[in-house]
Amino acid sequence: MTKALYPGTFDPITKGHIDIIKRASSLFDELYIAIMINPRKKCTFSVEEREELIKKCVCDLSNVHVVSDSNLTVRLAKKLGCKVLIRGIRAIADYEYELSQATSNMILDDKIETVFLVARPEYSFLSSSIAKEIAVFDGDISNFIPEEIVEEVTKKLYK
């Protein structure tokens, strides 16, 4: 059985993340989505809120689990028995960052492989930050954010 871990900030989860989750969950037996807590990153949604939002969107995927952690990603992967880290690549800017992360993780634990999934063209521009910038103005985020959580995300940002 091959288990994979998809780490990220997910502040909040977008349709781009969901697409990666669906594709990764069909490639591996079990997929863990991990909200990685980085105290240097200022997030809009609390870890608990992000976890709830993700769970609402993935409840129909039986081999997908949601966890959160504040340790090194490779340590979490090892603890959960995941040999693979999943990351999404949208553009060359992502690649530069992802390459340094993947190489660092390889140095930390060379038994864990990073697998990159290329973003679908319709989501290649999409980020949590863009969705939040639109939601602040009560703009329509239904093309960016899964429909199950559109209302909740807009409510949090539009004051």
Give me the residues that bind ligand ADP (CB under 6 A), please.
8-10, 14, 16-17, 20, 87-88, 90, 94, 119, 123, 126-128
Q: Please say whether the beta carbons of 144 and 122 come within 8 A.
A: no
Which runs of consecutive H residues, i.e. helices, occur in the chain?
15-27, 47-58, 73-80, 92-108, 128-136, 150-157
Q: Is 41 a catalytic residue?
A: yes
Q: Is 128 a catalytic residue?
A: yes
**Cβ proximity to ligand ADP, 8 vs 154, nearer residue:** 8
**Cβ proximity to ligand ADP, 52 vs 94, nearer residue:** 94
> Minimal CB distance to ligand ADP: which residue?
16
Minimum Å gap between C-beta 159 and ligand ADP is 23
Q: Which helix (H) or strand (E) holds 41?
A: none
Minimum Å gap between C-beta 35 and ligand ADP is 9
Active-site choice (41, 42, 111, 159): 41
Q: How far apart are CA 16 and CA 123, in angstroms?
A: 5
Q: 77: which residues sit within 8 A by CB, 6+ positions away?
A: 5, 83, 85, 109, 112
Active-site choice (17, 50, 87, 132): 17
- Residues with catalytic function: 17, 41, 90, 128
